[in-house]
Each structure stands twice: as structure tokens, then as C-alpha cells.
Amino acid sequence: MAKVAGPSAKGGKRGMAIASPTGARVGKILDLLAKTYPQARCELTFSTPLELLVATILSAQCTDARVNQVTPHLFTKYRSARAYAGADPETFEQEIRTTGFFRSKAKNILACCQTLARDFGGQVPRTMEELVTLPGVGRKTANILLYNAYGLPGFAVDTHVTRVTGRLGLVDTEDPDKIEEAICRVLPREMWGQATHLFIFHGRRTCHARQPRCAECTLQSLCPWPGKR
């Protein structure tokens, strides 16, 4: 088994060399998480790729529960990329205000949908290369869309994934691209999407940032984190 560097209490430091997790270790962790969280899934409510795109942009620095309170109105009022593209910016800002950072989110969503309407026939593209050309869409959002909207391989790295993989010693960096590369290197492509959900569920329900529930953690015996309680 490859040697895995121990993470810092915050889950690693940006810019450090990447750890080398083994497929067997990551697989064992995911098996335990799958038994603990059999319901693990995307918790944003959506029915189309466009709805998921909008909801994911809104979810930055905001809970999925809060986003799910805002989106029913949006999804009823704006039923296409062209509808968003033609929205009044000030009105739209107020409609999403409670999700936080509403001005930048409104700017990104409206610009994104203008690009969809102009360059993609109003359809959300199905490739990483095309998705990341959209305003407000990085690799995390693109991977969420690939897996949850289209059933394609995609491993999304958010703050929960960063924290959990760091504390478990699977990576020793907080760079999302390096974390994605390290985990995807040792997992079959068909496992990437569900691995994201399992790490996120564990981060939200057990491995909290400030008060992790280590005594109840199904991974306690596998966790090398020095801050473990």
C-alpha cells in the first residue's frame, strides 16, 4: 500500500504535493460510506439540465435547502435559457437575494443563459470542454451537471469533499483540480459521480468543519486525522 501523507487539521494546505491514495483504500472507504448513506444523492431539486445548472450556481456559499426554497418560483417563471437571458437583472437579483452573493450570481446566471441561447441553441452542453466556457461554470459545476443531469462520469470537488478527503489522508492539498485528479486516478469512471455524493453526505452529516461527530463516524478506524475526537 502506498504511503499516505497525513493531512493538516484543516484538511491540507493548498500547493502541497498531492498524496497517492490507493484504489483499495478509497474503495473500502466508499463501501463503508455507501452502507452508512444509502440515500446519498444530489439534494438540489431539479427536473432538467438547465434547472440543475441554475440551482448549482445558486448553491455557491448557500445551503441546498435554501436554494430549493428559491428555485420553484424561478423554474415556473423562467422555462428556458432564452427566458433567463431576457430577464430584468434587478428583478432577478431580488428573486435570488436570499441565496447570498445575489448580484454576482445573477450576473453569472443571466450571462450563462445568454451564452446558451446564442451558442448552444438554448441547450446545456454535455461535455466538460463546452461547459467550462459558460460564465459562472467551473469544473465543479460541470462535473455535477455531467453526472446528475446526463449520467456521465464526473467527480465534483466542493468544500465537503475537500475536507473529508483531506482528513482521511487521501490527499494533502486543497486544490480542487488536484483532488479531482488524485481520486479519479484510482476509481473506475462509473464510480466518480456517486463518490462525490458519498463524500458530501459524510461532510454534511458527520465530518463537520467545526464540530465533527468523530465518535459516531463509521470511518473512525480508517481516519488518520490528528484532530479526531
Q: Judge whether 49 and 124 are in contact, CB under 8 Å.
A: yes
Distance CA 220, CA 216 (A): 8
CATH fold of 23-40+155-222, please? Endonuclease Iii, domain 2 (1.10.1670)
User: CATH 1.10.340.30 spans which residues of the chain?
Assistant: 49-150
Q: How far apart are CA 49 and CA 83, in angstroms?
A: 15
Distance CA 216, CA 229 (A): 10
Residues marked active site are found at: 140, 158
- The highest-level CATH class for domain 49-150 is mainly alpha
For the chain, 229 residues long, give each residue's pLDDT as a single digit of tens.
Answer: 333 333 333 344 443 444 678 999 999 999 999 999 999 999 999 999 999 999 999 999 999 999 999 999 999 999 999 999 999 999 999 999 999 999 999 999 999 999 999 999 999 999 999 999 999 999 999 999 999 999 999 999 999 999 999 999 999 999 999 999 999 999 999 999 999 999 999 999 999 999 999 999 999 999 999 998 8
Residues of the chain with CATH 1.10.1670.10: 23-40+155-222
Q: pLDDT tens digit string along 197-215?
A: 999 999 999 999 999 999 9
- Spatial neighbors of 18 by CB under 8 A, at least 6 apart, are 171, 172, 173, 178, 181, 182
DSSP state of 86: T
CA dist., res. 81 & res. 61, Å (int):
23
Cβ atoms of 168 and 9 closer than 8 Å: no
Handedness of CA 31, 198, 141, 84 (dihedral sign): positive
